[in-house]
Amino acid sequence: MKKKMIAILLGTIMILSGITGCGNKDSASVNSTETETKQTVSDAELRKEEASETEGKKYDGEIVEIVWQYPGSSEVGEGFYRMEDALNEMMEKDIGVHVTFEPCDLLNSQNDATLMVSAGEQLDICLTAFTSARNLIDSGLVIPLDDLMAEYGQDVQEQGPEAVESCRFDGEIYGVPPLYIIAKYYGYNMKKEYAEKYDCMPEEDKIYTLDEMEKIFEKIRKGEGEGTLFFVPWNNTYEPLNYNLCEYDKIGGDMAWGTLMLNRSFEDTTIVDLFETEEYAAFCQRMYEWAQKGYISADAAVTTDAPDDICKRDNVVGTFAYGCPDPKLAETVAWSSDVVVFNTVAPFIPGGNSDFMWHITINSEHPDKAMEALNYIYKNKEADTLIQFGFEGEEYEIVKTEGENVLARYLTDNPSDLPYYNPYGIWGNRLDWPVFEPSDIMSNQIKGDIEGKLPASRKSPAIGYSFNSEPIAAELAAVQTVIAQYAPSLNAGALDPEKALPEFISALKDAGIDEVIAENQKQFDEYLAQKAE
The predicted structure's pLDDT at residue 331: 58
How would you list the strands of the sheet with 435-436, edge to edge? 396-402, 405-410, 435-436
Q: Name residues whose C-beta falls within 8 Å of residue 373's C-beta, 6 or more positions apart in sequence.
A: 66, 68, 91, 95, 97, 99, 124, 125
d(CA 75, CA 77): 6
d(CA 161, CA 248): 22
Q: For residues 476 and 268, is the Cβ–Cβ distance under 8 A?
A: no
Nearest CA among 373, 360, 429, 376 for reference residue 146: 360
Whole-number Cα distances in Å, 86 to 19, 39, 240, 409, 417: 24, 18, 47, 21, 21
Exposed / middle / buried, residue 281 (Cβ in 10 Å: 0-12, 13-18, 19+): middle
The predicted structure's pLDDT at residue 55: 40
How would you list the strands of the sheet with 184-191, edge to edge? 318-322, 184-191, 339-348
**Residue 15: strand pairing partners:** none
d(CA 127, CA 497): 42
Angle between helices 473-491 and 278-293 (to 10 degrees): 40
**Residue 361: strand pairing partners:** 142
- How many C-alpha atoms does 451 have within 13 Å on its Cβ side? 20
Q: Name residues whose C-beta falls within 8 Å of residue 342's C-beta, 6 or more positions apart in sequence.
A: 187, 188, 190, 202, 206, 208, 213, 216
CB atoms within 10 A of CB 422: 25
Q: For residues 254 and 480, is the Cβ–Cβ distance under 8 A?
A: yes
Q: Name residues whose C-beta falls within 8 Å of residue 303's C-beta, 6 or more positions apart in sequence.
A: 235, 297, 310
Q: Name residues whose C-beta falls within 8 Å of residue 39's C-beta, 6 or more positions apart in sequence.
A: none
d(CA 504, CA 1): 18
The predicted structure's pLDDT at residue 330: 61
Whole-number Cα distances in Å, 203 to 44, 200, 345: 56, 9, 14
d(CA 519, CA 522): 5
Tens digit of each residue's pLDDT, the chain (533 residues): 433 333 333 333 333 433 333 433 333 333 333 333 334 444 444 444 444 444 444 667 789 999 999 998 667 889 999 999 999 999 999 999 999 999 998 888 999 999 999 999 999 999 998 777 888 998 999 999 999 999 999 999 999 888 898 898 888 999 999 988 888 899 999 999 999 999 999 998 899 999 999 999 999 999 999 999 999 999 878 999 999 999 999 986 789 999 999 999 999 999 999 999 999 999 999 999 999 999 999 999 999 998 999 999 999 999 999 998 877 776 567 788 789 999 999 999 998 777 789 999 999 999 999 999 999 999 999 999 999 999 999 999 999 999 889 999 999 988 888 999 988 889 999 999 999 888 889 888 888 888 888 898 999 999 888 888 889 999 999 999 999 999 999 999 999 999 999 999 999 999 999 999 999 999 999 999 988 88
The predicted structure's pLDDT at residue 11: 39
Q: Give Cα 314 to chain centroid, integer Å.
A: 30
**β-strand pairing of 125-129 with 97-105:** unpaired
**Residue 100: strand pairing partners:** 67
